Amino acid sequence: EVQLVESGGGLVQPGGSLRLSCAASAFTFSDYVMSWVRQAPGKGLEWVSAISKSGDRTYYADSVKGRFTISRDNPQNTQYLQMDTLRAEDTAVYYCAKGGWLDSWGQGTLVTVSS
Amino acid sequence: DIQMTQSPSSLSASVGDRVTLTCRASQGIGIDLAWFQQKPGKAPKRLIYAASTLESGVPLRFSGSGSGTEFTLTISSLQPEDFATYYCLHYNTYPRTFGQGTHLEI
């Protein structure tokens, strides 16, 4: 069964940085696009970013473009989301998802941006 | 960017009811649409992809239809475990976009 395990969330001050990780197992990681989706408290789902199988192409929502960077390490079956210049409105549960069409999801990691 | 609009935003129904949720795209997306179910405190779960293909293990009371700009998710006979929030997602281009969700309550 596909497993996606996020880590790296926590409390950070506005303007700070955080790096999320997503460890994948039970599928051939390098065969799939990988994505990040977030959900602010009490709000709906927001697609954040995606990365191609080889990592040579990346895609971002306008709300995070220029501040967030997605990357992946195929030998380590792990994808990352580097989040810089964080704002209060980035507070959310961040989910890792498999594929460009999000067929499997992790349990999420909470990022709180607050002073 | 493609915008996705779901209706209604919330819906009250009873066990055994047949309900239909709608999702509209701001431009044609073929059948590049998925439906997700989310229960409180849990990660979303994909129910349907390619507008009408049921994910393995999803009960047959769920069905999806549509193409282009208008899509529906139908639950033929609501069960207690179906009360949740439902989201559509287009995956036709980047950026992907979710609808704002339909909260289905008893």
The per-residue pLDDT for range A75-107, each reduced to its tens digit, is 999 999 999 999 999 999 999 999 999 999 999
Residue A109: pLDDT over 90: yes
Checking DSSP bridges between strand A104-105 and strand A109-113, what pairing results, if any?
unpaired
Cα separation, A92 vs A48, in Å, equals: 11
B34 touches chain A (CB under 8 A): yes
Cα separation, B55 vs B52, in Å, equals: 9
* pLDDT tens-place string over residues B22-72: 999 999 999 999 999 999 999 999 999 999 999 999 999 999 999 999 999
Cα separation, B26 vs B28, in Å, equals: 7
Peptide linkage before B95 cis (omega within 30 of 0)? yes
Are B96 and A50 inside 8 Å of each other by CB? Answer: yes
> Which of B29, B46, B53, B97 best tests the A interface by mutation, with the highest count of A CBs <10 A?
B46
Are B36 and A102 inside 8 Å of each other by CB? Answer: yes
Q: Return the structure tokens found at B47.
A: 């129910």
Are A102 and B98 inside 8 Å of each other by CB? Answer: no
Are A59 and B94 inside 8 Å of each other by CB? Answer: yes
pLDDT (0 to 100) of residue A55: 96
Cα separation, B35 vs B86, in Å, equals: 7
A73 contact partners, CB below 8 Å, separation of at least 6: A79, A80
Q: Say if residues A68 and A56 touch (Cβ distance below 8 Å).
A: no
pLDDT (0 to 100) of residue B106: 84
Residue B91: pLDDT over 90: yes
Q: What is the mean pLDDT of chain B?
A: 97
Q: What is the largest CA-CA distance in chain B?
A: 38
Cα separation, A91 vs A68, in Å, equals: 14
* pLDDT tens-place string over residues A8-45: 999 999 999 999 999 999 999 999 999 999 999 999 99
